[in-house]
Each structure stands twice: as C-alpha cells, then as structure tokens.
Amino acid sequence: MLTDGFGRRHTYLRIAVTDRCNLRCVYCMPAVDFRWRPRPEILSLEEIVRIAGLMVGLGIEKVRLTGGEPTVRDNIEWLVAKLARLPGLKTLGMTTNGARLREKAHALRAAGLQALNVSLDTLRPNRFIEITKRDRLADVLAGIDTAIDAGFRPLKINVVVLKGVNDDELCDFAQLARAKPVNVRFIEFMPFTGNGWQRERVVPWSTAKSIIEEHHALTPRANGSSDVARDFDLPDAAGWISFISPLTAQFCGGCNRVRLTADGAIKSCLLRGAEVSLRDALRAGAGEDTLAELVRSALAGKDFAHPPECDLAEVENRCMTAIGG
Ligand code: SAM
Ligand code: SF4
C-alpha cells in the first residue's frame, strides 16, 4: 500500500507521457523561456509501463494519462493497451485537449481507455485562438463528438475559468451540458511557473455557480462522481456540471494522488516543487525494491496540504505542461 505520513492511502497515479503540446494555452505554457525536454530525458513507453506496473502492484487503482498533450506521443495506443492489461488496475483515463481525438478516439477506446477528459475553455473560434494560439476549435468540437460516439460516457469537459477572458461563457457551457452527455467541470485558475497568474483573474467556484444559477436551476447531484468536484444537475439535461476549487476550497485532506512527470520524477503534490526522480535509478538497473523505496520516500515527504493561496504564486514548481494537471 502507498500511504503518506498522514495515513492517506494513494490509489490514483497521473502520468505525463510527454511535455510537448500542439496547443499553447496562455494559462498553462510559459510565454518565455520554454523549451521541450530533450528526448533522451523523457521516459520511454517501456519505462512508463514498468513504473506504472510497479505502482499498480503497490496499490494504485486508477491511472490517468496526461501531458503536455498525450495524443501527440507516438504509439500512445500501444501504451494504453499495455496499461489497460495491468492486473489490479481498475480505471485507465486520459486528459487531452481534444485536437486529435477525431483520429484517435476510436483507437484509444479499442485499446482499453475507459475514461476521457477533454479540456476546452471557449466555444468561440477567435477566443480559442487567443487562448491556445492555435486555430483548432473545429477539431476539438469534432473530437468531442467522435469521443461520445466511441463510447466515452460521460465525457468530461474541463473549463479553466479566467476572469475577463471566458467567464461570460459559463452559461454557454452549462447549455452544452444540457445538450450533450457531458460533464462540464469548471476549474479555478491555478498559479504555476511562468503562467501569468494573478489573484484578480481567478473566478471562485461560488461566483461561477451564482452566474450560472441566474439562468439554470442547479440541484446538487446525488452520488457525486468524485471527491474533488461538486456536482450539479440541470433540468432536462443530457449531462451535468461540476465545480473544482483547488484554491478557494481546497480538498487536500483527502488527497489520494501522486504524479509521474514525463522525465520520470514522482511528484507528491501538484502545487509544491518537491519531487524524487526514478529515471536515473531505473536506467542504472535498479530493482523493484529500490524503485518502490524511492516512490515511498516521495510520499513520506508529502505535506498535508498545498501552501496557502497567498503564497502559491511564489512556489518554485514546474510549469503545468511538464506536470500534467
Ligand atoms: N494537454 C492536455 C489538456 O489540455 O487536457 C493535458 C495536460 S493539461 C496540463 C491538463 C489540465 O490542466 C487541463 O485540463 C488544463 O486546462 C489544466 N490546466 C493547465 N493549466 C492550468 C492552470 N493554470 N489552472 C488550472 N488548470 C490548468
Ligand atoms: Fe497544452 Fe493542455 Fe497545457 Fe493547453 S492545457 S498548453 S493543451 S498541455
């Protein structure tokens, strides 16, 4: 079992399979001084399978593939197929920007991917270009429909809410959740190295909810889907909406997550810089016991909670593309 110093059992592993991306979201990727890590620094797919297998053996039950953009990693379907067959793994998911889903959704589903989250912050073409620096909204929307068709239900749609950028589209996204079998999840804007975070740009979840309630009646959803989201039903809706509030109502107390970065480091907290590298030990021929000890040491150093909001912008951390959310 993987437990930290506070007795929290860790069952959820998020794996960044690459730090590369086909979009350039302004809130995620630093505008300056950004470079992809050289390929030799990145774990091979076989190395990822080995570490994931080790960690599933230690009690991980759910794995989510992320990035960078996971669908730009060559042979991602091969990786999905390998991980899906790990004995003991109960759920295999992916978070993607959706731009390649039209080509990939069916193959990923066939390979064994069970759950899919698509990140989409605007439904307006020009705004999409402003936020992502790429003209791919039509691809993402087509990718969402393909993924629903491929059987990813409910498909989750992650919306980072930025004041003055897309907070006038909250009701449009609520409408999307009424029209399609999707769970739209509104997420508070978090600070990471180089992402231009300012407190004034955060829309607290309670404010986002009030804005939506001016036009849509919201009812707390029975049997909420996760411990980090507050789920709400809308009248006559095919889907539902959720709010995720890492800043204004942190959920660290029940944290069960651990992260593997694309270059092979275990990160025990998304919003802290501490990490323990497995890659060099792995490449030097370390056995399972040594690697397991490294994973345990990362969790032993895990703090109970992330720093208070007033200190977050000062934390030395990787940028989000290198962590994977
Ligand atoms: N490229 C994939 C994507 O966009 O879904 C996976 C990686 S991305 C880093 C994972 C998630 O992190 C996305 O849902 C993205 O919106 C979210 N994210 C990135 N920067 C963020 C920030 N500053 N605050 C909150 N969420 C953020
Ligand atoms: Fe790429 Fe995802 Fe970051 Fe956007 S949020 S830049 S799609 S990694």
Domain ranges of the chain: 12-323
Atom of ligand 1 nearest to the CA of 118: 5
Phi-psi region of 88 (alpha: psi -120 to 50; beta: other; left: phi over 0): left
How remote is the CA of residue 148 from the centroid of ligand 2, in Å? Answer: 21
State the DSSP H helix or E strand holding residue 298, giving kind and residue range, or none if neither.
Answer: helix 288-300
- Best residue among 19, 20, 25 to mutate for probing ligand 1, ranked by most atoms within 8 Å of CB: 25
Distance, CA 278 to ligand 2 centroid (Å)? Answer: 25
CATH topology for 12-323 is TIM Barrel (3.20.20)
Q: Answer whether 67 contacts ligand 1 (Cβ < 6 A).
A: yes
pLDDT value, residue 242: 97
Whether ligand 1 lies within 6 angstroms of the CB of 186 is answered as: no
**Closest CA to ligand 2's atom 8:** 68
67 CA → ligand 2 middle, Å: 8
Residue 68 gets the label, from left (phi > 0), alpha (psi -120 to 50) or beta, of left
Does ligand 1 come within 6 angstroms of the Cβ of 192?
A: yes
DSSP E strand boundaries for 56-193: 62-66, 91-96, 115-119, 155-161, 182-188
Distance 29 CA to ligand 1 centre (A): 9
Contacts of 319 (CB under 8 A, 6+ apart): 28, 29, 30, 34, 192, 193, 194, 195
Buried b (16+ CB within 10 A) or exposed e, 55-73: bbebebebbbbbbbbbbbb
What is the model's pLDDT at position 296? 93
Indicate which atom in ligand 1 lies nearest the CA of residue 121: 16
Contact 198, 153 (CB under 8 A): no
List ligand 2's pocket residues with C-beta within 6 A.
Answer: 21, 23-25, 28-29, 67-69, 97, 119, 320-321
Average pLDDT, the chain: 92
Reported for 171-176, long-range contacts at CB under 8 A and 24+ positions apart, including other chains, are 171/211, 171/212, 171/214, 171/215, 171/216, 172/123, 173/123, 173/241, 174/212, 174/215, 174/216, 174/234, 174/241, 175/216, 176/123, 176/239
Residue 179 confidence (pLDDT): 97
Q: What local confidence, expressed as pLDDT, does residue 163 receive?
A: 96
Contact 246, 308 (CB under 8 A): no
Cα angle, residue 66 at apex, residues 60 and 68 outer, rounded to 5°: 145
Q: Which ligand 1 atom is the nearest neighbour of the CA of 21?
A: 1
Spatial contact of 272 and 306, defined as CB atoms under 8 Å apart? yes
**What is the model's pLDDT at position 115?**
97
Opening angle at CA 47, ends 43 and 51, nearest 5 = 110
Residues of the chain predicted below pLDDT 70 = 33, 223-226, 312
Residue with the smallest CA separation from ligand 1 atom 2 is 96
Confidence (pLDDT) at 270: 79
Q: Which ligand is nearest to the CA of 36?
A: 2
CA of 25 to the centre of ligand 2 (A): 5
Pocket test of ligand 1: the residue of 116, 158, 192 to mutate, having most ligand atoms within 8 Å of its CB, is 158
For the segment 108-158, what is each residue's pLDDT rounded down to a tens digit? Answer: 999 999 999 999 999 999 999 999 999 999 999 999 999 999 999 999 999
What's phi and psi for 258, nearest 5 deg?
-140, 150
What pLDDT, on a 0 to 100 scale, did the predictor assign at position 224? 56
Q: Which atom of ligand 2 is nearest the CA belonging to 69?
A: 8
Q: Contact, 153 vs 146, CB < 8 A?
A: no
Q: What's the whole-model pTM score?
A: 0.94
